[in-house]
Amino acid sequence: MDNLSPQAILEGLRTQFIARQLIYYPVIDSTNTVAKSLANKGAVEGTMVIAEEQTMGRGRLGRQWLAPGGTSLLFSLIFRPNLEPARVQGLTMICALGIRQAIRELTCLPAQLKWPNDIMLHGRKVGGILTEMSSTGQHLDYVIVGIGLNVNLQADLLPAGFNATSISQELGQFVSRVKLLQQALLCIEKRYLALRAGCWPLAEWAGALDTLGQRVTLHTAHGTWQGVAEKVDDEGALLVRLDNGRIKRVTEGDIAPL
Ligand code: BT5
């Protein structure tokens, strides 16, 4: 197992403000839960909470994130963007793109994204993002972006239904979590600075989604449909052309290629 201590992370980290405040836990319930409580207490933008292991790792909609200790990157970042709440998906977009770029640069593996929050390798899920926010009226107080990435994980240790993989499994060799994290944080920071300067990441994100144009099954809290995942709109919502010809706009849900 490689060393994920704050010292190891900070040594060689090239960001200006992301992860310059860093809280590390060998074991914690959920890094998102800790980050939220720190954000409520005024933690500065860029603060990172990272853990070797989570006892209550969370996905969206009450789902679980499972990761055997020491195998993964499990971290949450606090952002305080000057955006309307309807634009919160922009934070998911820049983080997903930053991670995709870091995987590609460090391993040459063709990482892709799947709407709305998955990081994929060869059609399997290698990472997921949980974005949570607090807002007052039309103002975002803070956004927590929690990232789980299977780095040196044997995916068959996870339940079979997950359709999961890991970077080491696809690459056939061990990967340095610290190097991958440092590169991902740098890539995220560059995009966040661009976002803050008014550059909306939609075009790059849409171009990285490997499910656009495909026939998919769409699951939401309200039902299941089939159709073609035609495109994403400016806020990152998915537009699916259903088999009856109607366009359905979804902001929350899951898609699986047919
Ligand atoms: C996600 O949710 O993919 C967001 C996961 C975010 C996890 C990070 S870890 C650090 C931070 N702290 C937290 O507590 N959470 C964040 P969702 O799209 O709802 O996907 C959840 C589903 O992914 C589960 O229901 C499983 O099917 C699958 N899954 C769980 N663990 C997995 C893993 N290690 N690899 C691949 N798939 C997994």
- Confirm or reject: Cβ of 150 under 6 Å from ligand 1: yes
- pTM attached to this predicted model: 0.98
Residue 3: pLDDT band with limits 50, 70, 90: confident
If residue 207 lies in a helix (H) or strand (E), which one and from where to where?
Answer: helix 202-208
Count of helix runs (H) and strand runs (E) in the chain:
6, 12
- Nearest residue (CA) to ligand 1, atom 20: 59
- Confirm or reject: Cβ of 116 under 6 Å from ligand 1: no
* Ligand 1 atom with the shortest distance to the CA of 31: 12
Between the two ends of the chain, the Cα-to-Cα distance in Å is 38
- Confirm or reject: Cβ of 237 under 6 Å from ligand 1: no
- Confirm or reject: Cβ of 66 under 6 Å from ligand 1: yes
Q: Report the alpha-carbon distance of residue 36 to residue 48 in Å, rounded.
A: 11
Question: pLDDT value at position 2?
Answer: 85
How many A from CA of 194 to the centre of ligand 1? 27
- Confirm or reject: Cβ of 249 under 6 Å from ligand 1: no
Residues 16-33 pLDDT 10s: 999 999 999 999 999 999
Instruction: Report whether 152 contacts 177 (CB < 8 A).
Output: yes
* Ligand 1 atom with the shortest distance to the CA of 155: 35
- Confirm or reject: Cβ of 71 under 6 Å from ligand 1: no
Residues 204-238 pLDDT 10s: 999 999 999 999 999 999 999 999 999 999 999 99
Residues 38-78 pLDDT 10s: 999 999 999 999 999 999 999 999 999 999 999 999 999 99
Percent above pLDDT 90 for the chain? 98
Partners of residue 140 on adjacent β-strands:
135
